[in-house]
Amino acid sequence: VDNNGTANATTGTIVSGNLDGLSASGDAIFAYQGAATSGNNPDYTSNANPTTFNGTILFGLYAQASSSITTWLTTGTASSQATYLPSQLNVANGNIALGASATRGQYTGSRTNQTSFAAYRTLVNNPANWTTAPSSGTVTLNTTPFTLVTGPTASVITGGSTICAGENTQFSVSVTGGTSPFTVVYSDGTSQFTLSGYVSGTVVTVNPTTTTTYSIVSVTDANSLAGTNNSGSVLVTVNQLYPFYVDGDFDGFGAGNPVSVCAVDANTPPSGYSVTNTDCNDAVAAIYPGASEVPFNGIDDDCDGTIDEGSQITTQVLASQCGTTLTAINSSIGATAVAAPVDGYRFRVVNTTTNEVQTLDRTTPNFQLTALANYEYATTYSISVMLRRNGVWLNYYGSSCLVSTPAVLSPGGAAAVTPSQCGITLPSISTLIATTSLQGVTGYRFRITNVTDNTAPNQVQTLDRVTHWFSLTMLGTYAYGTTYTIEVALKTGNSSTYSGYGAPCSISTPIVPVITNPGVANTTTALFYTTSMNRATSYRFELTLAQSPFTTIIVDRASHYFSFSNVPGYVPGGQYAVRVAVMTSGIWSPFGEAELVTAPGATRGMFEEETAPGIAFRAVAYPNPYIEGFALDMDTPSDAQIQVKVYDMTGKLLEDRNVSVDAIEVQQFGTRLPSGVYNVIVTQGSFVKTLRMIKR
């Protein structure tokens, strides 16, 4: 702009008025945008407030006619008719050194990021921040505004929640303006806490132990400028743990055991919990204490322990059967019938001995104990009945009634050896011993006690059978000449336990045999023999001298005979009392009765080879007639296998088996045959025996 010419602004704004204040001796190019007074001497000194410098544009240069003038005017005021910069840009003496021959220049220093006007003044008064040129030319004004940086203009704390003691929660601070990161100081009402390097919106985790309100104390930005307009607060409500009951159906009544739950207080449970546990069905919201009772739905709607108060319908076991003993375990047990819409009967059966409870659902008012999984003889049951109405069980029972099963364990009861066998001596060691076959019995337990020899091994033995009979030869040990007491226990249905034992019965095994040919032995090889006994494996001969010194000699033999050649140290011509014992199942029987035998005289002849007496082939089938199966009792001199064939009366072969001699007497034959008459042929080598059997 020439001070004598017309000022035409093409960039920025030229202040109003003339520029007489510039030197008349040279040209000055000076532009300042901002408030100023009008007149011949525009006054810039009023721009003392640094904020008015925001948005100003600064350009300026003064050149004297003499190139020796190298500095800005060092003195002068707004009214001094001298060149000057606005007082806000002056240093102490207004001295900015640009260069010896500068003719034009422009400020190229920073116009941003300064926090105060004083900081910009330092930059403007630094020649290093000016670009100058010594020649003529055109300068384009830089109109970029100077900008003062400011601190945060608003900070708001947000968050808040309800937690339980021991839990964490979060809040955040939203900062507007200022330069990140920030330093935030907040308070919990008692203490203050500092967050350094904080970025706006970052969550802050706290874990107060009591209800606490958090607020902002101060916010300072990275330029250490303090923020303004801090606002907001965060309320964190801290609840404690209290015992409540789960209310699964949300009806206000809980059930079960107490659980610890976070709540405002002990009387204000959160949703899904209750201060009571009186709900009798916590899965249905319509069922709770005080609810209306719905008749005949089978439900205790009001949880008072009674269903259908005032409208119950019941029945019970027939009066004619209450207190009675059934004639058979499968006898029908009836209840008083109830008319429609009743359509079902549930029998609850309680074993009064074991307290086992079983139920059976029926569409008719009767049932049998054998329809239960477990039932027992000689047992009293308490029986009650529930009704079903229109397909809905009413869930309450009528009066109970006691009914007993047959007293088979009492003296004379069926759980005992068949009376016809009690007190007898068995015809054979393998004779079958039977009890009554009872309805519904799935197992028979026989307890056999040796009462002849209290020191005998296996004095008490038990044998479990699915059939109602057994033989002594099925035991671990058994002996001739022995009396046993036999008791029977029963197992019924699907039960795995047996009842008590019934009345005992005494049965004796066949007597121990005696010497069958007593007399005088003419030679040392003369044989004295006893009866060959079924199942005997050894024979013991006891010879006691019938005169002083009454010595006893024992001779054990695998055969049922002996000669004095087998007797060591006998007295020639001496008379001996000979008794026999028999070994079966590894044990000796008691000795039988004594027979007198005289030893050979003093003069002995040559020893002769011992010759065994013949043993007859014998086969007997028993029982006959039979119900389930029959066995064979045999004597045989042969060790060959035995063949057993069973034919019907038309000659058709129905059963053909080969059995070893030592196993023949434990075999059962004819078990799968229907009732009828059969021919049985027993063959061993050249021995043949034909038997006729009847199955009932």
Residue 665: strand, helix, or coil:
helix
The conformational region for residue 293 under phi > 0 = left, psi -120 to 50 = alpha, else beta, is beta
Q: Confidence band (pLDDT; 50, 70, 90) for 110? A: confident
Quick: pLDDT tens for 310-320.
889 999 999 99
Q: Look at residue 280 in the predicted model and tell me its pLDDT.
A: 92
Per-residue pLDDT tens over the stretch 637-651: 888 999 999 999 888
Residue 129 has pLDDT above 60, yes or no: yes
User: Does pLDDT of 366 surpass 50?
Assistant: yes
pLDDT recorded at residue 38:
40
**Residue 462 neighbours by CB distance under 10 Å:** 14
Choose which CATH entry (3.10.20.30, 1.10.3720.10, 3.10.180.10, 2.60.40.1930) describes domain 618-695. Answer: 2.60.40.1930
Residue 578 CA to residue 545 CA, distance in Å, equals 9
Pick the CATH number of 419-508 from 2.60.40.10, 1.20.1730.10, 1.20.1250.20, 3.40.50.1360: 2.60.40.10
CA pair distance 676, 14, nearest whole angstrom: 145
Give the mean model confidence (pLDDT) for residues 320-328.
95
pLDDT confidence of residue 684: 92
Whether the pLDDT of residue 589 is over 80: the answer is: yes
- pLDDT-derived band at 51 (thresholds 50, 70, 90) equals very low
Q: Does 5 have pLDDT greater than 90?
A: no
Q: What digits encode the pLDDT tens for the residues 221-269? A: 998 999 999 999 999 999 999 999 999 999 999 999 999 999 989 999 9
Q: What is the pTM of this model?
A: 0.50
**Residue of 329, 341, 313 whose CA lies nearest to 367:** 329
pLDDT number for residue 139 = 54
CATH number of 154-239: 2.60.40
pLDDT at 286: 93
Q: What is the model's pLDDT at position 683?
A: 93
Task: List every span in the chain annotated with CATH 2.60.40.1930.
Answer: 618-695
For 347, half-sphere exposure in the C-beta direction (CA atoms, 13 angstrom radius) is 27
Give the pLDDT band (50/70/90) at residue 11: very low
Mean pLDDT is highest, among 94-98, 143-147, 234-238, for 234-238
Residue tagged 């209840």 (tokens) = 335
Q: Provide the CATH topology of domain 319-404.
A: Immunoglobulin-like (2.60.40)
Question: How far is Cα of residue 377 from the mean position of the Cα atoms in its chain?
Answer: 38
- CATH superfamily, domain 519-599, is Immunoglobulins (2.60.40.10)
Confidence band for 135, pLDDT divided at 50, 70 and 90: low
Domain with CATH 2.60.40.10 in the chain: 319-404, 419-508, 519-599
Average pLDDT of span 610-627: 74
Q: What is the mean pLDDT of residues 474-487?
A: 95
pLDDT, one tens digit per residue, over 525-572 is 999 999 999 999 999 999 999 988 899 999 999 999 999 999 999 999
From CA 397, how far away is CA 349, in angstroms rounded?
Answer: 11
- What integer pLDDT is reported at residue 105 of this predicted model? 61
For residue range 438-469, what is the model confidence (pLDDT) as tens digits? 999 999 999 999 999 878 778 999 999 999 99
359: how many CB neighbours lie within 10 A of its CB? 13
∠ CA 328-330-332, rounded to 5°: 100
Q: What is the mean pLDDT of the chain?
A: 82
